[in-house]
Structure 1
Amino acid sequence: MKTTKLLMSMVVAATLFFVGCSPKDADIQAAIQAKEAAGVTVAVTKGEVTLTGEVADNAAKAKAEEVAKAEKGVKSVVNSLTIKPVAAPVVITEDTTLIKNVTDATKDFPTVKADVKDGVVTLTGEIKKTSLITLMQRLSVLKPKKIDNKLTVK
């Protein structure tokens, strides 16, 4: 009976020792977060690591997962990182096309004069406040580099 109690006590002590030695989730999280790139968020629950956020490309996504898997105490990694979308290039209409389209867009506004140079539309003259929004919308659709509004609003 004494031997059984002693043996049982040793098993309980060994179990507690091994459980106490494994890294805590907070420690795993801090260690991984310190090694990850900006924009990567790390969450750890029972040794399972979840990566979220945005990275530049697939190589950065794979590297983040590799870093997480290498940390002691990690049982699995859920990689929920997304790739940042590449911004579409800004399209600016050529001056010859822009001049024709600006002339068409401003024909209903006889008190407005529009000049085009290097993709910049410069507006001068007078306009009613209620008509200004309509004019600006028509011009914006034409994709100029800039609209320089020097109009006098009545």
Structure 2
Amino acid sequence: MKKTLLRFSTIAIIGLTTVTAFDSCKSGPKDADIETSIAAKTNETPALTATVKDGVATLSGMAKNEEEKTQYEGTVKSIEGVKSVVNNITVAPPAPTAAPVEVATADALTTGVTDATKDFPTVTATVADGVVTLNGELERSKLKQLMERVQSLKPKKVENKLKLK
């Protein structure tokens, strides 16, 4: 009886050891397979990448916004074999908005042009839709002075139709 019990115990121990050994040999997907799965599911976001080591996915790259960053992380977490995710993705700063161009109002521009051309009796100026048109005759040496005065009023455009002496 003791021999039967001893044989039964030995067989049971060997059986349990074998089952445990085979069970521990089973592992999840390899890191390279996980990376391939990530690339296949996230091919719409080439600016973002993932590397996998021991089942831990490390995300990197530049996302357009916070939503894209979160969505990419969620997609990677859902892939079989990913144990955890380290999210090193940065969000791109918003593009700077261009400062509006300052253009003088019509009344202020007309008054300013009249004042700027008062020292040049041979020059006439008209203002239409923010565009200043200069007509008449002027000495070449005085052109720079006149143009500086008119440009300082910030019109949309200056059309120079002056005849220079």
* DSSP 3-state at the match of 1:71: helix
CA distance in 2, matches of 1:52, 1:152: 58
Gaps spanning 5+ residues in structure 2: where?
Answer: 1-20, 52-57, 78-84
CA contact (8 A) 1:52 1:82 kept: no
Which entry has the higher C-alpha Rg, 1 or 2? 2
Alignment TM-score, normalising by the size of structure 1: 0.59
| TM-score, reference length from structure 2 | 0.56
Q: Give the letter aligned to residue 67 of structure 1.
A: Q
In the alignment, which of 114, 120, 124 is matched to residue 135 of structure 2? 124
**Identity over aligned pairs, percent:** 32
Q: Distance in 2 between matches of 1:70 and 1:134?
A: 65
**Match of 1:115, SS?**
strand
- Three-state SS of the structure 1 residue aligned to 2:132 is strand
**Cα–Cα, structure 1 residues 136 and 80, in superposed 2: closer, same or farther, change >3 Å?**
farther
Q: Which residue of 33, 43, 50 corresponds with 1:21?
A: 33
Cα 1:19–1:118 shift into 2, 3 Å: closer
Per-residue deviation, 1:129: 5.0
- Relative to structure 1, is the Cα distance of residues 145 and 101 closer, same or farther in structure 2, using a 3 angstrom cutoff? same
Between Structure 1 and Structure 2, how many residues are aligned?
130
Q: 1:1-154 residue pairs with structure 2 within 5 A?
A: 18-23=30-35, 27=39, 31-33=43-45, 42-44=47-49, 46=51, 47-51=58-62, 61-72=65-76, 75-128=86-139, 131-153=142-164
Alpha carbons 1:32, 1:68 under 8 Å: kept: no
Residue ranges of structure 1 left out of the alignment (5+ in a row) = 1-6, 35-41, 54-60
